[in-house]
Chain A
Amino acid sequence: MVSEIWTEKYRPSKFDQVVGQDDTVKKVEALTGSLNIPHLLFAGPAGTGKSTLALIVVKELFEKNWRENYLELNASDERGINIIREKVKNFARTKSIGNVPFKIIFLDEADALTPEAQQALRRTMENYSSTCRFILSCNYSSKIIDPIQSRCAIFRFKLLEKKDIAKVIQKISEGEKLTINPDALELIYEGSEGDCRRCINILQSTASISPIINFDLVSTVISNAKPKDIRVVMDYAISGDFQKAREKLLDTMLRDGVSGQDVIKAIQKELWSLPIEPEVKVKLTEKTGEAEFRIVEGSDPFIQLQSLLASFVLAGLGL
């Protein structure tokens, strides 16, 4: 069955369909052909093809039996390393089907695991190395502990360039009979920040309104998809209403499921359009950076964000 969700419908299923990661694709293809693949570590930003490439590897290796020989896990969703180990254990217990001597486990967002959990994962990888190969994906390979890195072949994925994105969108618009204005294409690319998934999602959301994709339509879709009320939170804070600001912030975070870091990112971008003096903007940018640092260091992002809001309150008072 062909999916109606375009990220699936147009997901490349062959190596030569993957855009923008030529080197990586070539090397992985060669390894896959040799049937003797090591553990793999795919590092790179979201929406650059890590999961896609893993799926292609699996489909190439196992052909029609790929579902039986493939386990997909997400480290940021599974509650703790023990659950992951349990699932791996169950999956690895049976032998692979077909003539490939191993199964494949794809662990997405592996950098969400704490260093301690990664140590446990390393052990698991060793224990099942005769029957399983791991493909780990992460945004930053520096967040993966050295012992795991040294057991994996590392492949880096780069952000997609505009011409790559254009290629993807071109293909979809042919398939879906869309008309896309050049400035709309530009905007989709900018709004997606090189994330191919987002591009396609924005495109499909826009197309669900009209098959003629113009600038205004895309811009509406993108602004709807942005974390909304962060600006409102900042306005409350600047006007001195700390209580309202933090209340709104909590509601927004819970409703949209955005993390502390997402909020910081939005604040950092939005800050420049606040009606405050340039030097205050600089001061607040520094405070924002400090808050982001503390979010990484601390345990409760919401407390750190409140501290930042208090700085905004002071800035609003001219202090």
Chain B
Amino acid sequence: MPEEKPEKAVNWTEKYRPEYFVEVEGQQQAIFLLKDFLKKFAIGNKAVIIYGPPGTGKTSLAFAAANENHAELFELNASDLRNREKLIEILKPATEQRSLTKEKKIILVDEVDGISETDKGGLLELIALVESSSYPMIITANDIWDRKFTALRKKADLIQLKEIDYKTIKNVLISILRKEKKFLEGDIVTNIAIKARGDLRAAINDIQTASGMKDPSAIIFDERNKELDIFSALRMIFKGKPNENMLQLLDSVNMPIDEIILWIEENIPAEYQGEELARAINILSKVDIFKKRIYRQQYWRFLVYENALLSYGISSAKKNIKTGFTSYKKPTRILKIWLNNQKYDKKKSIARKYGEYVHIGEKRAYKEFPEVQAFLMKPEIQKELRLSEEEIAYLHNVIRSE
């Protein structure tokens, strides 16, 4: 949380952090749900998870909730969550003791994404605390759909924050500029608002920087390269309506496009069925053809088409937007290929020896296997090919398993 800084360096994002619900912009639905949670705290879940992309107001909502209810906000963040001991030491008393200064208390556990899966103790303890807490707990996260949070999710209400639309962002920016008595040209503000892609914090940081620059328009060219995780990208493509922003979507995913193709391939059937499935894979097949053309002709402009088909194209394969949660899987194909290489290692080495012996290539020999397997069982032929004991054992195993 904000450290004490000299007056001049005050961060606008902190300075203008909303104090009350009415000041939180663009999240009416979430505010309604959060109020509801606090109202029903005594009978319902002890915790609420507010999740969404960065800069959409998760922490602000927690602050506002505390203010609205005249409650003390007890705050913990990622670094405090590392291990069980620390949680017990800090958080446990907080969930049990009464506030010294105010009647009510809200506990904020900020940015739980940081808890690693290996530190199971921390996460388990958090779940235990959620169950026993005497005070409402607000937990924030960027992506709550990670598997490690499955148990936690079941114990809490969920509130999703959407990316804030650019008009709302623009209005906030203008009002801050007014209060700061700074002036930026309208189209610069608009540009910053659009570029922020729903991240209000980023936008506020940008106008603060821009208003201090001699030539504020320079900031427009300096786009924040907002990194998008692959899960969010998949969600946008598979669930959302195709829109032009999608054309740049894959650029902000920090992953080579060939790998993204594998992710899309793996997860298409999880979202699309029947005709949608056929359309989507047909588009993927065209992506693959452009990929080959790029390699073959070294003509990189084709990448534009590969990119557009892979995002907008795949997205357009559906008739209506999809709702609900889909758990996307890591591509399994590469792993399977690798596992199979291990598994059929002996088969390959036999094929190599046999192929060399009868003047054919290894690949062809491998393919010929079912045809020749029967006589490869003969000891005199095995001797002739100088098969190793492991290779002979492999042959026997295959015969047995069939």
Residues in A whose Cβ lies below 8 Å from that of B360: 51, 74, 108, 197
Partner of A72, one of B282, B359, B377: B359
From known contacts A313-B278, A314-B275, infer whether A298 and B292 are also in contact, taking CB-CB under 8 Å: yes
- Contact in complex: A242, B371 (CB < 8 Å): no
- Contact in complex: A225, B284 (CB < 8 Å): no
From known contacts A243-B269, A304-B285, infer whether A313 and B274 are also in contact, taking CB-CB under 8 Å: yes
For residue B296, give the distance in angstroms from its CB to the closest CB of chain A: 8
From known contacts A225-B371, A303-B265, infer whether A314 and B291 are also in contact, taking CB-CB under 8 Å: no
- Contact in complex: B384, A298 (CB < 8 Å): no
A101-117 toward B: CB 8 Å interface, digit per residue (1/0)?
00000001100001000
A77 to B358, CA, bound (A): 15
**Interface segment out of the listed B67-75, B124-132, B189-197, B332-340:** B332-340
A44-77 toward B: CB 8 Å interface, digit per residue (1/0)?
0010000100010000000000000000101111
- Contact in complex: A294, B285 (CB < 8 Å): yes
> A310's closest neighbor in chain B, by CB?
B278
A55 to B357, CA, bound (A): 13
The A-contacting residues of B in range 259-311, CB under 8 angstroms, are: 261, 265, 269, 273-275, 277-278, 281-282, 284-285, 288-289, 291-293, 295-296
A298 to B273, CA, bound (A): 24
From known contacts A205-B373, A208-B374, infer whether A4 and B384 are also in contact, taking CB-CB under 8 Å: yes
Residues in B whose Cβ lies below 8 Å from that of A300: 261, 288, 291
Whether A201 is near chain B, meaning CB under 8 Å from some CB there, is yes
- Contact in complex: A109, B361 (CB < 8 Å): yes
The A-contacting residues of B in range 339-382, CB under 8 angstroms, are: 340, 344, 351, 355, 357-364, 366-375, 377-378, 380-381
Partner of A8, one of B277, B281, B358, B364: B358
Whether A221 is near chain B, meaning CB under 8 Å from some CB there, is yes
From known contacts A208-B375, A298-B292, A302-B333, infer whether A256 and B269 are also in contact, taking CB-CB under 8 Å: no
Whether A232 is near chain B, meaning CB under 8 Å from some CB there, is no
Whether A175 is near chain B, meaning CB under 8 Å from some CB there, is no
Residues in B whose Cβ lies below 8 Å from that of A306: 265, 281, 284-285
- Contact in complex: B336, A221 (CB < 8 Å): no
A298 to B286, CA, bound (A): 8
From known contacts A255-B344, A257-B366, A306-B265, infer whether A5 and B361 are also in contact, taking CB-CB under 8 Å: no
> B290's closest neighbor in chain A, by CB?
A298
From known contacts A55-B359, A208-B374, A255-B340, infer whether A313 and B277 are also in contact, taking CB-CB under 8 Å: yes
Partner of B372, one of A201, A257, A319: A201
From known contacts A5-B375, A77-B363, A258-B367, infer whether A294 and B274 are also in contact, taking CB-CB under 8 Å: no
From known contacts A205-B373, A313-B274, infer whether A304 and B357 are also in contact, taking CB-CB under 8 Å: no
The B-contacting residues of A in range 233-269, CB under 8 angstroms, are: 242-243, 246, 250-251, 254-258, 262
From known contacts A205-B375, A299-B292, A317-B274, infer whether A307 and B333 are also in contact, taking CB-CB under 8 Å: no
Give 20 A-B contacts (CB < 8 Å), ordered by A residue.
A4-B378, A46-B364, A76-B364, A108-B359, A108-B361, A114-B296, A201-B371, A254-B337, A254-B344, A257-B351, A294-B285, A294-B289, A299-B292, A303-B285, A306-B265, A306-B281, A310-B277, A310-B282, A311-B278, A313-B278
